[in-house]
Amino acid sequence: MVRRCLVAALFASIFLQRFAIPIGEDGLAINLLVTLGVLALLAIRGAFTLDPVRTVMFFALGTAISLSTALNAGNASLPSMVLMLVMYAPFVLALNVTDGVFRGCVSAFQKMVLVCAVCGVAQFVAQFVVGSENLFTFHGLVPESLLLPNFNTANPLTWDSPYYKSNGFFLLEPSTFSQYLAIAIVLELLFYGVTLRLLAFAVALPTSYSGTGLILLLLLLPWLLLHLRAYGAIVGGLAFVGVAVIFGSLWNIEVLLNRINEFQSEDSSANARFVAGAWLIGEFLLSSARDVVFGLGPGSYAQHTPLVSYEAHDPAWAKMLFEYGLMGSAIFWPFFFISLFSNPPSRWISTALLIGYFTFGGMLLDPRLQIMILVFCVWPKQPAAAPAHERPSWAPTFNSRHAA
């Protein structure tokens, strides 16, 4: 029952992530409601225990958030404050049962991402025959009120291109597609080795033309492969990259390579995601000592981004500091790191999701990545090692030094 509930939450976070109930300005994400429903059901069934350290830290965080809200009562967003508390309250929980649950969730997640990978490759190829934007968006297919706004699901290769980057059909954006593929590649190598499914993920990744998933892989994959002594995978990966470069003109490799130059442009996604947050903090937060300590209150980051001439996304570190100040940040980040790394099934997975948390953009209040962090890092205890026939010879066991 526990495994099925968690798989249902993962399913909603992937296949229902574009949809929302029309409540409030931006709608209420359906996958968040599924996660809360699963959480309530498991709690009623007694599947959770409270982690005492994380519980104390969460109440301290709640105090800091409430204080920031009170000090900025005129502009603070109560829905944003409530969402913050609701999103991180489950971090105080731990599952009573783990045997088979974690591995079952990993297996289900890999199969779901494989479906998206196949759909992503198919839609990229099909657009050269069909040439329809409907391959990438649900607009016109379902009522607009049921779709999450402000996401670029149909994203052209270049501003004047008639062709689009793949988004896996079900996912919000091409960048989201690349993020899920990158996480799936890490999980596949950890628990299944070099498989045809890994090849499918690798083939689908370039069709997203997005750098966020590649950043995760560049930062983590070399160390993971060396740790696993997966020398065959290293050689195969280098060969795959070489073939991709040689035939780059067939899939517009220059579009992907040009993303490197985006850090120098104020209007680029890379600058907005990794640089502009610091500019926003410098302009609006540092002028007041009180604001530096307590922040400008929940929801203030989104209120200030329209006031600047450059595009600014909301990386978790910048949004946390901007809205809750040094006091909130000093409580939140130890709470978050302890939740991820105190007793995870695999610190490699925790590291992969941590990199994603800081690089994907907008992750502080993102229910899609949140459920992955809960299911793969926070809730389960370290399970027993999988039987030898269920893992490659070089894969880590959960109760050995490789689990680190």
Contacts of 150 (CB under 8 A, 6+ apart): 26
Six-digit token string for 140: 């016109």
Is the sign of the CA dihedral 282, 284, 290, 295 positive or negative?
A: negative
| Domain-embedded: residue 185 | yes
Q: What DSSP designation does 21 have?
A: E
Query: For residue 262, what pLDDT is reported?
Result: 57
Tokens describing residue 46: 């007694």
Residue 183 φ/ψ, nearest 5 degrees? -65, -40
Q: CB–CB of 400/385 below 8 Å? A: yes
- For residue 384, CA distances in Å to 51, 99, 190, 403 come to 21, 7, 15, 11
Structure tokens at 117: 């990978």
192: CB partners within 8 A, 6+ apart = 110, 198, 391, 392, 395
Residue 113 and residue 182 in contact, taking contact as beta carbons nearer than 8 Å: no
Determine, yes or no, domain membership for 56: no
Structure-token pair, residue 249: 């003109």
**226-238: string of b/e by CB count within 10 Å (b at 16+)?**
eebebeebeeebe
Indicate the number of domains in the chain: 1
Return the amino acid letter for 394: W
CA gap 225, 232 in Å, rounded = 9
- Asked, for residue 311, whether it belongs to a domain, the answer is no
Nearest to 179 by CA among 398, 395, 362, 396: 362
For residue 384, the model assigns a pLDDT of 40
Query: Tokens at residue 177, please?
Result: 């597609």
Q: Which two tokens stand for residue 82?
A: 């409530």
| pTM of the model as a whole | 0.86
- Residue 388's pLDDT is 38
Look up tokens 């025959």; give the residue: 129
Distance CA 326, CA 317 (A): 11
Predicted local distance difference test score (pLDDT) of residue 395: 45
Letter for the amino acid at 384? A
CA dihedral defined by 22, 168, 124, 154, rounded to 10 degrees?
Answer: 20
3-class secondary-structure state, position 20: strand
> Long-range contacts: 215-218, Cβ < 8 Å, 24+?
215/355, 215/359, 216/179, 216/182, 216/183, 216/186, 216/352, 216/355, 216/356, 216/359, 217/182, 217/185, 217/186
Indicate left, alpha or beta for 252 from its phi (over 0: left) and psi (-120 to 50: alpha).
left
Q: What does the pLDDT profile of the chain (404 residues) look like in tens digits? A: 999 999 999 999 999 998 988 876 677 889 999 999 999 999 999 999 999 999 999 999 999 999 999 999 888 999 999 999 999 999 999 998 766 899 999 999 999 999 999 999 999 999 888 877 778 888 777 887 888 877 878 888 877 788 889 999 999 889 899 999 999 999 999 999 889 999 999 999 989 988 888 889 989 998 998 888 877 777 777 777 777 677 666 556 666 656 555 555 566 677 777 888 899 999 999 989 999 999 999 999 999 999 988 888 889 999 999 999 999 999 999 999 999 998 889 999 999 999 999 988 788 998 999 999 999 999 987 654 444 334 444 444 433 333 44
What's the domain range around 385? 97-264+343-398
H or E stretch including 103?
helix 101-126
Domain assignment present for residue 14? The answer is no
CB within 8 Å of 48: residues ≥ 6 apart: 42, 93, 94, 95, 96, 379
> Is residue 13 in some structural domain?
no
Q: Give the integer Cα–Cα distance in Å for 191 and 106.
A: 9
393 falls within a domain: yes
Q: What contacts 370, CB < 8 A, 6 or more positions away?
A: 35, 87
